[in-house]
């Protein structure tokens, strides 16, 4: 099948990330999509840098020239802002190009106009990356939950603010100090207003509100209150009462009308949203049939955002210019690309382990056990005598570092042979969930 051709507007953080994802995962993407994605043209500030990032793409200085090119099927708008971006997107739609954009401000402020023109011209405008970065929340709202009446959405959708609040809570620091730290780490802009005063979260919750309730986009109606006036004392008091303070975007359908607001919010510490820390994002959706669902992931960053941009490109590529209907394949990859891969037997998997051993409470027992583990190459993270079962028997709990399962199995077998140990030893696998 012939490739789908894209033109990228802007090679900043997200634009560079998009080029990187398309290059790095070209094979995997083609295995799923059944065709290649080719960057045929780019528009950026510096030609030299553009040539470095996309050596095979034509360079265009003028976005309006790029969006008119015949060899561009999809225009990927990653300029940001609402001036050049708006002109380029409207012009591209005018030329019948499909659009992928990560630009929440553009959609929150001019989305109605853009979508109206897109309907007229019968083109698609996709914007997964505009809300919560790499989390496929737009897809969940438009497709996954399409059988539901959505009742409310509450989201941690600004990573900068969430990082600052997480740090204020953990360290008891003042807002101004943590902001400086966030700026040093690159988590906050030199001018952080947009993030910390709730504008960014407001754009995102406004877009989600429209998707949830079937209304036009109405950013002007969104109440915005940021975190800059939060006192760390309130964070501390809230915690003592069992709450965390998070900057939430909230929208809810009530009998009186729709609520649409961004503000610091106390939420009970037992809720999953309360435990979303650092720069991570999460969106909770409550819907009449499915109940509560929650979507968590990276809300910003070059590669996570590009993951969403490229997913949108793939969605469009399935629907356009294909020789046959290019449906989503059953097993995610094109049938001819589904292939057997080596499936590891359990003896070959890698894990860390929890062991509980009942053994005679006598000198030398621990040493013998530790030696047998070491003999199989299993290193110990913790070894704790948990309790005495009766006068002569103690219970020992061991956490191991990561090892291949056959090693721990051999070690357990050897330990069970010790005269001072009672069979069987309890073995439970552990996962750090970091990879």
Residues annotated as catalytic (active site), given as ranges: 204
Is residue 261 within 8 A of residue 209, CB to CB? The reply is no
Helix (H) or strand (E) holding 207: helix 199-213
Shortest Cβ 237–a copy of itself spacing (Å):
5
- One-character DSSP codes across 30-61: HHHHSS-EEEEEEE-S-HHHHHHH-TTSEEES
- Of 44-52, 82-90, 135-143, 409-417: span binding a copy of itself (CB under 8 A): 135-143
Work out whether 394 is an interface residue with a copy of itself (CB under 8 A).
no
Judged by CB under 8 A, the stretch of 7-15, 165-173, 180-188, 282-290 that binds a copy of itself is 282-290
Candidates 19, 43, 44, 135: give the one binding a copy of itself (CB under 8 A). Answer: 135
Residues 6+ apart with CB under 8 A from 33: 314, 317, 318, 326, 334
Helix (H) or strand (E) holding 318: helix 302-319
From CA 90, how far away is CA 120, in angstroms rounded? 12
272 binds a copy of itself (CB under 8 A): yes
Q: How far is the CB of 214 from a copy of itself (least distance, A)?
A: 4
Least Cβ distance, residue 65 to a copy of itself (angstroms): 26
Answer whether 345's CB lies under 8 Å from 425's CB.
no
Six token digits for residue 400: 């191991």
Residues 369-388 that bind a copy of itself (CB under 8 A): 382, 384, 386
The interface with a copy of itself within residues 249-268 (CB under 8 A) comprises 250, 252, 254, 256-261, 263-268
Q: Which residues inside 103-132 make contact with a copy of itself, applying CB under 8 A?
A: 111, 115-116, 118-119, 122, 124-125, 128
Helix residue spans in 104-192 (DSSP H):
104-121, 137-139, 159-171, 175-184
Stretch that binds a copy of itself, among 45-53, 55-63, 83-91, 421-429 (CB under 8 A): 421-429
Among 186, 335, 363, 364, indicate the residue that binds a copy of itself (CB under 8 A).
Answer: 335
Q: Which is nearer to a copy of itself, 60 or 145 (CB)?
A: 145
Least distance to a copy of itself from the beta carbon of 259, Å? 5
Of these, 241, 377, 379, 417, which contacts a copy of itself (CB under 8 A)?
241
What part of residues 66-105 is at the interface with a copy of itself (CB under 8 A)?
Answer: none
Nearer to a copy of itself, 61 or 386 (CB): 386
Secondary structure letter of residue 70 according to DSSP: T
Work out how close the CB of 61 gets to a copy of itself at its nearest, in angstroms, rounded to a whole number: 28
Nearer to a copy of itself, 383 or 418 (CB): 383
Q: Residue 352: phi, psi to the nearest 5?
A: -105, 170
Q: Which two tokens stand for residue 26?
A: 């070209």
On whether the CB atoms of residues 203 and 284 are closer than 8 A, the answer is: no
Asked whether position 342 contacts a copy of itself by CB under 8 A, the answer is yes
**Between 43 and 248, CB nearer to a copy of itself:** 248
The answer to whether 174 contacts a copy of itself (rule: CB under 8 A) is: no
3-state secondary structure of 429: strand
Residue 132 CA neighbour count, 13 Å, CB half: 26
> Nearer to a copy of itself by C-beta: 60 or 141?
141
Count CB atoms within 10 A of the CB of residue 115: 16
Query: 6-43 burial, b for 16+ CB within 10 Å, e for fewer?
Result: bbbbbbebbbbbbbebbeebeeebbbbbbbbbbbbbbb
Q: CB of 339: closest distance to a copy of itself in angstroms?
A: 7
Asked if 425 interacts with a copy of itself (CB under 8 A), we say: no
Rounded Cα–Cα distance for residues 131 and 208 (Å): 8
Using the contact rule CB under 8 A, the part of the chain among 69-77, 183-191, 194-202, 217-225 near a copy of itself is: 217-225
Q: Distance (Å, rounded) from C-alpha 165 to C-alpha 173?
A: 10
Min dist. Cβ of residue 91 to a copy of itself (A): 18
- The CA-based angle 300-302-307, given to 5 degrees, is 85
């Amino acid at each position: 099948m012939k490739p789908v051709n894209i033109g990228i507007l802007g090679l900043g953080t997200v634009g560079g990330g998009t080029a990187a994802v398309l290059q790095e995962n070209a094979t995997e993407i083609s295995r799923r999509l059944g065709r290649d994605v080719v960057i045929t043209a780019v528009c950026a500030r510096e030609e030299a840098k553009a040539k470095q990032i996309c050596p095979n793409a034509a360079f265009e200085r003028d976005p309006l020239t790029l969006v008119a090119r015949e060899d561009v099927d999809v225009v990927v708008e990653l300029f940001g802002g609402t001036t050049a971006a708006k002109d380029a997107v409207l012009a591209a739609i005018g030329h019948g190009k499909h659009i992928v954009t990560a630009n929440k401000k553009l959609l929150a402020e001019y989305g109605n106009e853009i979508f109206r023109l897109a309907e007229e011209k019968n083109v698609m405008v996709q914007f997964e990356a505009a809300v919560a970065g790499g989390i496929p929340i737009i897809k969940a709202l438009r497709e996954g939950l399409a059988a539901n009446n959505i009742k409310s959405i509450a989201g941690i959708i600004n990573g900068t603010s969430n990082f600052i609040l997480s740090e204020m809570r953990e360290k008891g620091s003042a807002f101004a100090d943590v902001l400086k730290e966030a700026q040093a780490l690159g988590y906050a802009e030199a001018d952080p207003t947009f993030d910390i005063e709730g504008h960014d979260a407001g754009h995102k919750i406004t877009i989600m509100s429209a998707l949830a309730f079937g209304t036009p986009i109405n950013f002007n109606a969104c109440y915005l209150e940021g975190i800059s006036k939060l006192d760390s004392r309130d964070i501390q008091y809230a915690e003592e009462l069992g709450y965390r303070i998070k900057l939430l975007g909230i929208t809810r359908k009530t009998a009186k009308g729709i609520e649409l607001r961004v503000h610091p919010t106390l939420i009970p510490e037992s809720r999953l949203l309360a435990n979303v820390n650092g720069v991570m994002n999460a969106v909770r959706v409550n819907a009449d049939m499915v109940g509560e669902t929650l979507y968590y992931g990276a809300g910003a960053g070059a590669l996570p955002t590009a993951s969403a941009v490229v997913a949108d490109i793939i969605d469009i590529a399935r629907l356009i210019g294909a020789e046959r209907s290019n449906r989503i394949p059953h097993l995610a990859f094109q049938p001819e690309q589904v292939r057997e891969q080596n499936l590891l037997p359990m003896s070959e998997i890698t894990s860390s382990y929890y062991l509980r051993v009942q053994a005679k409470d006598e000198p030398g027992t621990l040493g013998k056990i530790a030696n047998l583990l070491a003999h199989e190459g299993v290193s110990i993270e913790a070894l704790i005598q948990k309790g005495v079962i009766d006068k002569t028997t103690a219970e020992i709990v061991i956490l191991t570092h990561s090892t291949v399962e056959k090693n721990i199995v051999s070690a357990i077998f050897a330990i069970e042979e010790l005269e001072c140990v009672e069979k069987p030893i309890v073995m439970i696998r552990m996962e750090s969930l970091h990879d």
